Amino acid sequence: MGGTSSLLFVTAAATAAFHTLIPDHWLPFVLVGRARGWSSRTTALVSGLSAVVHVALSAVLGLLAIGAGELVAKAIGHQLERASGALLVVFGTAYALWAWRKGGHFHPGGALLHRADPKVACDGHEGPENPEHLHYHARSWWPRRSAGRRRWPR
């Protein structure tokens, strides 16, 4: 096995092991077994059989998804390859216009990004008098419309 295959196998095994520890995967079998008066052996057999069916069905669905993906890639892949550059430009332009319209790039929670200084009143404006105070106040839901426009050269 190559390095990538080994890593993939170990990752799949670890995911499967942790997946079985989630209570909603085994607790229903325990509760049904208790309610129906099953022995521990019967509960384990029913749970094991369900696990095998679960894994087999997941593998079949995964293979079907791979097959469907290959069919779609063969059917429209060449068209998507041609359109991808145009789509990238369209989405990039739309995102840039959206960011410009909302007033630039801001991080939520800006009021928490600086130390509270009771001596300095915060009016929300950036300026040289307090360089540590460069942020957007999250208290108002939407930035001022002029906030992003004055950043662009005229």
For the chain, the structural domain boundaries read 1-102, 103-154
Question: Cα–Cα distance between 82 and 86 in angstroms, integer?
Answer: 8
Question: Cα–Cα distance between 114 and 130 in angstroms, integer?
Answer: 11
* In contact, 138 and 111? CB cutoff 8 Å: yes
pLDDT digits (tens, 9 = 90+) for 22-59: 888 889 999 999 999 999 999 999 999 998 999 899 99
pLDDT digits (tens, 9 = 90+) for 75-97: 888 888 888 889 999 999 999 88
Q: How far is CA 132 from the centre of its chain?
A: 32
pLDDT digits (tens, 9 = 90+) for 100-140: 777 665 555 444 344 445 565 665 555 555 555 555 444 44
Question: Cα–Cα distance between 123 and 142 in angstroms, integer?
Answer: 16
* In contact, 25 and 19? CB cutoff 8 Å: yes
* In contact, 45 and 31? CB cutoff 8 Å: no
The closest alpha carbon to 151, from 92, 95, 105, belongs to 105
